[in-house]
Every structure is written in C-alpha cells, then in structure tokens.
C-alpha cells in the first residue's frame, strides 16, 4: 500500500455539456474514490461539484458511475483498480445533471409522495403492537435502503426507455415492504399495477447487482410483489372474490392528495411558490 | 483586478425570492423532522429547510438505538430509573426538567414511530426489543440491528411528506433575521441560498426552529458527516442568543483508527452492548482498571462477574467466563459512560499498551458467534470488511476516541425550547441542557423525538399568537453582502485548507484532555483563523460551489469552536466529557452549581457563569431514591 500517484478522469460540466478532465492524486492507505475527489477539490479544483454527507456508506449521497459501474464513491477503494488502470468518474446517467458529479434526483422525492403511507391496525389492549421477528425479517431487509438511487439509475426501464411513470426498484421495495407489513391495513395493489407500473419490470436484476446494501431487490421484493398483484387480478378465484366484494380485508388505497412537488428551488420553478407566500 | 470573479458573482442588489411560513424549521434530521410534523399537525404552514437532500442528515448514521423506558425487556425499568441514569451520566449538570421530560415522554415517542411504520427488532413475545448501553441500568435501547438512525429518519420522512409541510432541499441558511424591538428581540425569518444555483432566498416566518445538529467537523478525528458544522449554534449566537455548556464535547470511545481514510468513523456502542470488550495489546480487558468512584457500587470488578451480568440480560456469549453463577447485579465496566471509556483508551495508549495504530482492541469475535455478529451488527461487519480489510467475526477491531457529539448548544427554556429571542426555538443536538456534562448513548435519538416535538408544538403556538411583521431591508442587504464577499476578493486563503488547519488546532488544543496552556494557545490559533477566514477567497460562480459553502461553514465552526475553548478555559475542574489535566477532580462546590454561557458583545465573545437550577424536592427525591 505504498503511496503512489494515480490519474482520475472526472466529468466536468453542466446541463449545457461537459467533458472528462484528468487529475493526478497521491494515494494513501484505505483511500476511497470520494477521498480522491475531495483531494482534487481542496488542492486543484475548488469548484468541482460533488454531493456527499457521511463518507461511511450510510447516507447514499455520493452515488456516481465509476468506470461505468454505478457505485458509492465512499465505498469504492482505490486499491480496487490495478496499476495503470484508468479511473473514470461520471455522474449518474439517468438523472439530469446539475453540475459535474451532481445530478437532479428530485424524480425520486416526487415519486415518494405518491405512495400512500403506512396505516396500521389499532394497538392491542395493552398498548403494544405485537409482531414476530421472523415475520418482519424480510421487510427489514428492504428498510436497509439508503436511497442512493443507484438502482433507479441502472434500471433500464428508467435509463433507456425513459419511463418516468415507472416507480423504479427503490419504490417497488418500499411498496413491497408496506404490502408485507403485518400491521398495515391498506391495499395498494391496484396502484402498484396501474400507477407504479410494476408490469414494466422484466427482472433483469441490474438493480440488485448495484445495491450497496446488498438488498435482494428483485428476488425478495419485486417478484413477490408481482405475484401478489397477479394473484389479485389474474387468479380466477381471487378475481371472482374481488368482483363480489369479499375475500379482502384491506382497505383500498387512493393516491395521496396532490401536494406541491418537494423542494425544487423556486428559482428553477418560480410559479411553484407557496400560495400564502410573498 | 477581480474581473474574473465579478462577472461570475452577482451584486448585492441582485434579487432574492421570498417564501413565507408560519413556522420555519431549519435542519431536517430527527429533531427537525419531528418538529415539522408537530407544527404541521397544529395546522401551521411549515417550511422545512435541509442543508442536504431529505433523509441524508446525520441522524442517518446513528447506530445503536433509541433510549426509552418501555420496560419490555426489563419490567423494572421506568422513567425514574431512566431519569436517574441520565442525570448521573451528565454528572448532575443537566437541566433536570429537560431530563425529566425526556425520560417520561420517550416511550410515547418510540411507540409513535412504530405507528408511523418503523420496524424495530422484536422480543420473543413480539414487542420492541431493547438492548444494553453505557450508563443505562437496564436494557433500554429500542433498535434495528445497528442502523436505528436510518430507520428513524426514514420513518419520519415517509410520514412527514404526507403532513403538508414544504420541504426545501439543498438550501443553506446564512443568517437569522431578528427584530430588535424595545420589548425584546423577536425572530422574523431567515436568509439563505439554494445550493443548486446559488440564488438567494428570504424565508419570512413567525416562528423558527433550529435543528441543525452538532459540530464534529471542527475536529481532525470525528465521526460526523459533512453537515455537522455548528450552523444552528452560530446562527443563533450571531442573532443574539446564548450558547451554554459548550465546554462539553463528547469523544465517543470507539471510532475506527485504521486505515487513515476512515479514521474517526463510528463503531457503535452496541458492539459492547452485545458483549464486546476492550483489550490492550497484551490481551487484557482494560476497563476493570478505570472504574470511577461514582460508579463503583454498580460495576463488576472481575471478568466472570461482568460476563454473568451480560448473560443475565440476554446476551448470548460464547465461551468466556461467568457461566456458572446466577445473575450478577453488577454491570460490565465496558459499558461505563462514554467519557470514562474514552479516557481509559486514551490512558492505555499513553501508557504504551495500545494497538499498532494508536488505539486499543475491541473484541466481539471471541465473544459472540459469527451468526450473531452478522445478525446484530451487520453494518459494522460491512464497514470493517469493505473499508478496513478486517473480518470482525474473526479478528478484533482497532478503536480509539473520536469527536462525536456536543452536549452544549443554544440555551433554551426547558419547558418550550425557546431561546432568549422570542419565537426562536432549538431542538436536538444544537440545543443545550438535556445531557449536562456527558450524554448517555441512545439518549440522543430520544432527545430528537421528545424535544423536536416540544419545539414544534411551542413554535406553532407562538406562530398562532403573533402576526407577521416587516423585515428590515438593511438586514437583508447585509446578509447578501456578507455571503458574496468571498467572491469579490482578488486573493485570499483557500477555505478547504483553512478548515484542515482548524481541525488540527481543535484536536490538539481543545481535545479529549485539556489544560490551561493548551486552551490559551488554542484561543490564539482561533483568533488567527478568524482573521484568515475574514479574507477567504472563493473561485468560480455560485452554481453548486463547494468552496463557497465551505467559506460560510468556516464562519460557523469558528464561532462554536471559540465558545468551546472559552468555556473549557473557564471551567477549572474535570466533569463528564470536559477533562482538565491541571484540574483533574470534579468540583463538588462551585462548578457543580453553574453552567457556562457564551454570548456576543460589542467587543467579541464573552463567557459567564449562570446558576444551575436545583430540582424541586419531589424530583430530588426521585434522584435520591434507592431501588
């Protein structure tokens, strides 16, 4: 792990366009790509834009593409690259670029607002909710999600087909988690099918491959959710039961009332001002 | 001569946009989100300002759990025990009323999270599981493996976005706007800019809640994320509020020490809660040699006694001692409060008994099965595997103290969380009083929930009772000029390098062990840095400009650092997290009866002692109660 110099090719640009620029940095033990980016920022290029928070793989802010692979910069060790191998860092390709390595991920925050939130059963007489650990293990896996949006970035429905009405893997596991929650009382299946378009996923599992939390997004989340929705709509017995209004305990969920889109700087959308605003 | 920058920056007469809310919450971690939820529930128009994206605040990194006397694992637990533990951990310098509110309300706040979708780990009978933590008499921390903070922030976020609040992401507040009326100072709003394009925004608000977190980034070795630069404390101080207890900076005993890239990154106390133990280079368990008198009656003095206690609370140790006997009432010294453990590690290293990279060893691999480690501490496993090349199911971790949490902050009214500026509230780490001289692990997440709610509630009440008022245009103009000044300089120091300089000086002179000479040198260095920061120069334009942001952060960190150093110099004793080698004893007299506050004057920062409120007899009786 002796110190040596390596070259990084970093994307510099904005919505108007940009190009790769090369920077030389000195490595040190344990160094990750985000350290290298910070080193460039501090010593060579103070205007280099990068989004980060925790530098410990917990917050999911520093998502980018490293040699084309969607990754967290803070969890990618410099020792991963062999001597002389070029290291190229580019922003996530599926989201509009803001500047350099920073992209506009507001699509995800707007999608989150469309999902009807958790609505639990009443508490038991002693004031508790009782759930067995084995019944929540599978949902806890989905709740490890750090919202890095690398799965959204790599999902070809979003990336190549520009299907922005598809909720994407991140929200499919959120929906699956709500559906499997032992206490939840809402039936979101119709929304999962018609609004969030689960049918568009054809299970290429790219999302699972890039997940830094190693969540089995497809196998444990999307496929079971597809089956649950399919059972409702395509299983003849369930279909009949639904038609006659029986066999369902959960209340049908509606899309939440339209709210102002999250954030989005008013400078970019001046018309989005609060009604009561000045 | 500054042609390149004047074309890219914009003059102060440039326009700003205006947003208006009843309640503006600045900071979107646990406390900010909880405050915003409460103020929204009160029917107020709420704006929530995030320095980063929503859901990325430092709360996300909290690991071990949220302390609440639910009594699910140990039925003997109740608010009184939690209150006593908290006051003792804080060496009785806590505001008793805040510690009482916290202990009584924390269980409801945790249950409420469950109501909003949080999935805590379960007991065999299906209730919320609670784990041991330092300074807590009973297993008390509701948790989700070692990612409790993530569960909490995601739950609050998923609930909050449906409560009607307006969320403003990647927006930095640079100044609070205050009306200096004859009847007293009163909040009017806040001024800041959008990171994305650098344009200015004025928030008009009847009430403001600060929930901006801590100041760990002022230290070389720290566990904190990018955001923890003391913004709320500095904004409040510059607006005329007081800071209190700033000398108490918590150094978490277990940060990573190797490799350098991750030095300081947190290792949860949950490792020790799950049976992990600290050893020196000779393999000896170190904590038996560092049991202070205050904790002598309740702490095990031998390995089998400590291990028997762990087993009796449900920790499934493999091998080890303490298997024969019955339950031990005496806790393992590995779970003494953080200040004690951090200084023990410091002592071992100083005595030459440390690990190769200047820490000690934290051993879980010999104490728990691999399966248990992977299930209870999955994030720790991955963190060491991916960043440190260490397999914690097979090898010990190397750990050492890391700047983690500030007990001090904005001085607030214990009932309402209001500062001395009317309508300005503070909650969470940026507020002072709850934790006294030292915070117990797990009491932070509960603090965020309890006092976030209280601040949101009282901010809403305040907003309902007060009309909007005009904001002085001159004040806005000043704020714009101040923010843009770094662009207009032809030359000046690089803000990133200044920050590196500050981290080294704070670590060296205001660190874990202090003395008068160091603190004075530290203050002189801070004067130098303040002068340099006033000349700082940034390049480029206002579009997502990290160096511009760093320049503003520097102002905030310097204010808070100075308050820490001045408070530390004034308090000539050792108490909790504040350790003076020239005054090693805890003062049972004078300093047990005062808190130190910092406030701005025409000539600079002044520190003064204020009387520490004594609890009323019925609360003193709770403290004196023997179980």
Is the alpha carbon torsion for B149, B266, B597, B604 positive or negative?
negative
Q: Identify the residue among A50, A58, A91, A131 best suited for mutation to test binding to B, counting B beta carbons within 10 A and taking the highest.
A: A58
Residues of B in contact with A106 (CB under 8 A): 169
User: What does the pLDDT read at residue A162?
Assistant: 77
Cis check: omega of the bond before B474, within 30 degrees of 0? no
- Does B574 have pLDDT greater than 70? yes
Q: Half-sphere exposure of residue B78, counting CA atoms within 13 Å on the CB side?
A: 4
User: What does the pLDDT read at residue B323?
Assistant: 63
| pLDDT tens track for B391-429 | 999 999 999 999 999 999 999 999 999 999 999 999 999
User: What does the pLDDT read at residue A248?
Assistant: 56
The total of other beta-carbon atoms located within 10 Å of residue B288's CB is: 18
User: What does the pLDDT read at residue B485?
Assistant: 96
> Which 28-57 residues of chain B touch chain A by CB within 8 A?
45, 47, 50, 52-57
Residue of B nearest to A73 (CA): B387
Q: What is the DSSP string of A98-159?
A: EETTEE--HHHHHHHHTSPPP-BPPPPTTS-----HHHHHHHHHHTT-----HHHHH-HHHH
Q: What average pLDDT does the segment B176-189 reach? A: 93
- Percent residues over pLDDT 70 in chain B: 96
- Does B326 have pLDDT greater than 70? no
Distance from C-alpha of B153 to C-alpha of B213, rounded to nearest angstrom: 14
Please answer yes or no on whether A112 and B547 come within 8 Å at the CB atom.
no
Please answer yes or no on whether B262 and A56 come within 8 Å at the CB atom.
yes
User: What does the pLDDT read at residue B263?
Assistant: 96
Distance from C-alpha of B109 to C-alpha of A221, rounded to nearest angstrom: 30
> Shortest CB distance from B20 goes to which of A41, A178, A277?
A277
pLDDT band at A161 (very low <50, low <70, confident <90, very high): confident
User: What does the pLDDT read at residue A2?
Assistant: 53
pLDDT band at A272 (very low <50, low <70, confident <90, very high): very low
Q: What average pLDDT does the segment B582-597 reach? A: 97
Range with lowest mean pLDDT among A66-80, A188-202, B4-18, B332-346:
B4-18
Please answer yes or no on whether B265 and A268 come within 8 Å at the CB atom.
no
User: What does the pLDDT read at residue B267?
Assistant: 95
- Does B28 have pLDDT greater than 90? yes
Q: What average pLDDT does the segment B62-91 reach? A: 97
| pLDDT tens track for B245-275 | 999 999 999 999 999 999 999 999 999 999 9
- Does A221 have pLDDT greater than 60? yes
Q: List, as own/partner pairs, every contact residues B350-359 make where C-beta atoms lie below 8 angstroms and the sequence separation is at least 24, other chains included.
A: B353/B280, B353/B281, B353/B282, B353/B284, B353/B286, B354/B280, B354/B281, B354/B400, B355/B257, B355/B280, B355/B281, B355/B398, B356/B258, B356/B398, B357/B257, B357/B258, B357/B398, B358/B257, B358/B400, B359/B257, B359/B258, B359/B398, B359/B399, B359/B400
- Does A29 have pLDDT greater than 90? yes
Distance from C-alpha of B420 to C-alpha of B429, rounded to nearest angstrom: 18
Q: What average pLDDT does the segment B428-455 reach? A: 98
User: What does the pLDDT read at residue A233?
Assistant: 83
Residue of B nearest to A32 (CA): B261
The total of other beta-carbon atoms located within 10 Å of residue A203's CB is: 12
Q: Backbone phi, then psi, for A118, in 5-degree steps?
A: -50, 135
A&B contacts, CB < 8 Å: 220
Please answer yes or no on whether B126 and A42 come within 8 Å at the CB atom.
no
Strands B424-426 and B594-601: unpaired
Q: How far apart are the first and last CA of chain B?
A: 74
| pLDDT tens track for B197-217 | 999 999 999 999 999 999 999
Residues of A in contact with B206 (CB under 8 A): none
Q: Half-sphere exposure of residue A119, counting CA atoms within 13 Å on the CB side?
A: 14
Nearest Cα of chain A lies from the Cα of B617 at a distance, in angstroms, of: 32
CB-based contact A248:A241 (threshold 8 Å)? yes
Q: Which of B249, B218, B251, B252 is nearest to B234 (CA)?
A: B218
> Which 510-549 residues of chain B touch chain A by CB within 8 A?
538-541, 543-547
Residue of B nearest to A54 (CA): B225
Strand extents, DSSP E, B332-471: 360-363, 397-406, 409-410, 424-426
User: What does the pLDDT read at residue B627?
Assistant: 67
| pLDDT tens track for A236-270 | 887 777 777 655 578 999 999 754 444 433 333 33
Range with lowest mean pLDDT among A74-83, B322-331, B560-569:
B322-331
pLDDT band at B469 (very low <50, low <70, confident <90, very high): confident
Active site residues of B: 252, 272
HEC-encoded secondary structure of B504-516:
HHHHHHCCCCECH
Nearest Cα of chain B lies from the Cα of A139 at a distance, in angstroms, of: 8
Rg (CA), chain A: 22
Q: CB contact, 8 Å: B265 with chain A?
A: yes
User: What does the pLDDT read at residue B9?
Assistant: 44
Q: What is the mean pLDDT of chain B?
A: 95
| pLDDT tens track for B267-303 | 999 999 999 999 999 999 999 999 999 999 999 999 9
Q: Backbone phi, then psi, for B303, in 5-degree steps?
A: -60, -45
Residues of A in contact with B199 (CB under 8 A): 265, 267
pTM metric for this prediction: 0.95
Q: Interface pTM (ipTM) of the complex?
A: 0.94
Range with lowest mean pLDDT among A158-162, B142-146, B366-370:
A158-162
Q: Hey, which residues does B594 pair with through a beta bridge?
A: B611
Give the helix/strand (H/E) hosting B486. helix B473-488
Q: Identify the residue among B111, B196, B398 best suited for mutation to test binding to A, counting A beta carbons within 10 A and taking the highest.
A: B196
Distance from C-alpha of B177 to C-alpha of B18, rounded to nearest angstrom: 13
Q: What average pLDDT does the segment A218-226 reach? A: 98
> Shortest CB distance from B261 goes to which of A28, A59, A102?
A28
Nearest Cα of chain B lies from the Cα of A67 at a distance, in angstroms, of: 19
User: What does the pLDDT read at residue A223?
Assistant: 98
Please answer yes or no on whether A118 and B170 come within 8 Å at the CB atom.
no
Residues of B in contact with A11 (CB under 8 A): none
B350-369: b (≥16 Cβ within 10 Å) or e: eeeebbeeebbbbbbbbbbe
Please answer yes or no on whether B161 and A53 come within 8 Å at the CB atom.
no
User: What does the pLDDT read at residue B324?
Assistant: 58
Distance from C-alpha of B496 to C-alpha of B485, rounded to nearest angstrom: 17
> Shortest CB distance from A262 goes to which of B56, B167, B496?
B167
Q: CB contact, 8 Å: B375 with chain A?
A: no
* Measured CA distances, B426 to B241, B269, B415, B429, B448 (Å): 11, 27, 12, 9, 11
pLDDT band at A167 (very low <50, low <70, confident <90, very high): very high
| pLDDT tens track for A67-123 | 999 999 999 999 999 988 999 999 999 999 999 999 999 999 999 999 999 999 999
- Does B354 have pLDDT greater than 50? yes
CB-based contact A272:A264 (threshold 8 Å)? yes
Q: Hey, which residues does B249 pair with through a beta bridge?
A: B406
User: What does the pLDDT read at residue B444?
Assistant: 98
The total of other beta-carbon atoms located within 10 Å of residue B449's CB is: 28
Residue of A nearest to B158 (CA): A117
User: What does the pLDDT read at residue B319?
Assistant: 74
User: What does the pLDDT read at residue B4?
Assistant: 35
Angle between helices B96-115 and B443-465 (to 10 degrees): 90
Distance from C-alpha of B526 to C-alpha of B504, rounded to nearest angstrom: 11
> Shortest CB distance from B154 goes to which of A105, A143, A278?
A143
Q: CB contact, 8 Å: B264 with chain A?
A: no
């Amino acid at each position: 792990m002796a110190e040596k110099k390596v070259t990084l090719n970093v994307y510099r640009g904005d919505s108007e366009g940009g190009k790769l620029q090369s920077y030389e940095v000195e490595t040190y033990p344990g160094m990750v790509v985000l350290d290298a980016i910070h080193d460039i920022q501090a010593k060579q290029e103070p205007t280099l834009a990068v989004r980060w928070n925790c530098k410990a793989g917990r917050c999911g802010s520093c998502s980018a593409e490293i040699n084309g692979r969607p990754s967290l910069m803070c969890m990618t060790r410099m020792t991963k690259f062999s001597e002389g191998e070029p290291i190229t860092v580019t922003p996530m390709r599926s989201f509009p670029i803001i500047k350099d390595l920073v992209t506009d991920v507001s699509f995800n925050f707007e999608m989150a607002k469309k999902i009807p939130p958790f609505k639990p059963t009443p508490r038991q007489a002693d004031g508790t909710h009782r759930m067995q650990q084995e019944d929540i293990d599978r949902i806890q896996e989905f709740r490890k999600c750090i919202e890095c949006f690398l799965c959204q970035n790599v999902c070809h429905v979003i990336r190549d087909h520009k299907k922005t009405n598809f909720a994407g893997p991140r929200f499919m596991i959120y929906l699956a988690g709500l559906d499997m929650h032992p206490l939840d009382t809402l039936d979101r299946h119709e929304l999962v099918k018609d609004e969030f378009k689960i049918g568009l996923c054809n299970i290429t599992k790219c999302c699972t491959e890039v997940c830094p939390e190693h969540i089995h997004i497809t196998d444990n989340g999307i496929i079971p959710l597809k089956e649950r929705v399919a059972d409702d709509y395509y299983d003849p017995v369930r279909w009949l039961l639904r038609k006659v209004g029986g066999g369902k305990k959960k209340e049908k969920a509606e899309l939440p009332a339209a709210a102002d889109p999250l954030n989005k700087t008013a400078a970019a959308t001046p018309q989005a001002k609060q009604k009561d605003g000045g | 001569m500054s042609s390149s920058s004047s074309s890219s920056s914009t003059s102060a007469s440039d326009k700003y946009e205006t947003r208006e809310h009843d309640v503006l919450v600045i900071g979107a971690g646990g406390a900010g989100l909880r405050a915003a939820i409460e103020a929204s529930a009160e029917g107020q128009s709420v704006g929530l300002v995030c320095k980063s994206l929503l859901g990325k605040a430092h709360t996300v990194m909290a690991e071990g759990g949220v302390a609440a006397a639910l009594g699910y694992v140990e039925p003997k637990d109740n608010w009184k025990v939690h209150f006593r533990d908290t006051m003792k951990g804080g060496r009785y310098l806590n505001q008793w009323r805040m510690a009482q509110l916290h202990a009584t309300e924390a269980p409801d706040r945790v249950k409420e999270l469950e109501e909003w979708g949080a999935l805590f780990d379960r007991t065999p009978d299906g209730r919320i599981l609670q784990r041991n933590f330092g300074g807590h008499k009973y297993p008390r921390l509701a948790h989700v493996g070692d990612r409790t903070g993530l569960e909490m922030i995601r739950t609050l976020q998923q609930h909050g976005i449906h409560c009607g609040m307006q969320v403003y992401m990647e927006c930095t507040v640079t100044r609070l706007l205050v009306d200096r009326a004859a009847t007293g100072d009163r909040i009017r709003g806040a001024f800041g800019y959008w990171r994305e394009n650098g344009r200015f925004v004025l928030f008009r608000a009847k009430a403001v809640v600060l929930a901006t977190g801590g100041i760990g980034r002022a230290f070389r070795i720290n566990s904190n994320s990018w955001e923890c630069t003391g913004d709320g404390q500095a904004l409040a101080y510059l607006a005329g509020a007081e800071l209190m207890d700033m000398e108490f900076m918590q150094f978490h005993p277990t940060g990573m020490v190797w490799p350098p890239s991750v030095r300081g990154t947190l290792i949860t106390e949950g490792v020790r809660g799950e049976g992990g133990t600290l050893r020196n280079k000779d393999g000896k368990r170190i904590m038996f040699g560092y049991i202070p008198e205050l904790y002598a009656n309740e702490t095990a003095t031998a390995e089998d006694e400590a291990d028997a206690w762990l087993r009796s609370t449900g920790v499934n140790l493999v091998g080890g001692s303490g298997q024969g006997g019955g339950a031990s009432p005496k806790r393992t010294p590995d779970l003494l409060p953080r200040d004690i453990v951090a200084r023990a590690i410091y002592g071992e290293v100083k005595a030459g008994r440390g690990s190769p990279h200047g820490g000690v060893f934290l051993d879980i691999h010999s104490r728990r099965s691999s399966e248990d480690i992977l299930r209870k501490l999955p994030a720790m496993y991955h963190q060491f595997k991916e960043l440190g090349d260490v397999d914690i199911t097979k090898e010990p971790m190397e750990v050492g103290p890391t700047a983690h949490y500030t007990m001090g902050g904005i001085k607030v009214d214990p009932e309402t969380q209001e500062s001395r500026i009317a309508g300005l509230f503070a909650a969470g780490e940026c507020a002072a009083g709850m934790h006294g001289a030292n915070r117990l692990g797990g009491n932070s997440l509960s603090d965020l929930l309890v006092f976030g709610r209280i601040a949101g509630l009282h901010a809403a009440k305040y907003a309902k009772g007060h009309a909007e008022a005009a904001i002085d245009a001159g004040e806005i103009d000043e704020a714009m000029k101040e923010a843009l000044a770094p662009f207009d300089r032809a030359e000046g120091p690089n803000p990133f390098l200044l920050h590196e300089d500050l981290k080294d000086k704070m670590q060296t002179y205001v660190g874990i062990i202090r003395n008068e000479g160091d603190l004075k040198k530290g203050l002189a260095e801070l004067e130098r840095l303040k002068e340099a920061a006033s000349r700082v120069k940034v390049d480029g334009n206002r579009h997502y400009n990290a160096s511009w942001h760093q320049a503003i952060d520097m102002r905030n960190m310097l204010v808070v650092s100075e308050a820490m150093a001045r408070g530390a110099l004034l308090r000539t004793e050792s108490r909790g997290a504040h350790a003076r080698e020239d005054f090693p004893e805890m003062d049972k007299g004078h300093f047990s009866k005062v808190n130190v506050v910092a406030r701005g004057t025409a000539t600079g920062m002044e520190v003064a002692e204020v009387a520490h409120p004594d609890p009323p007899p019925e609360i003193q009786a709770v403290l004196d109660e023997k179980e």
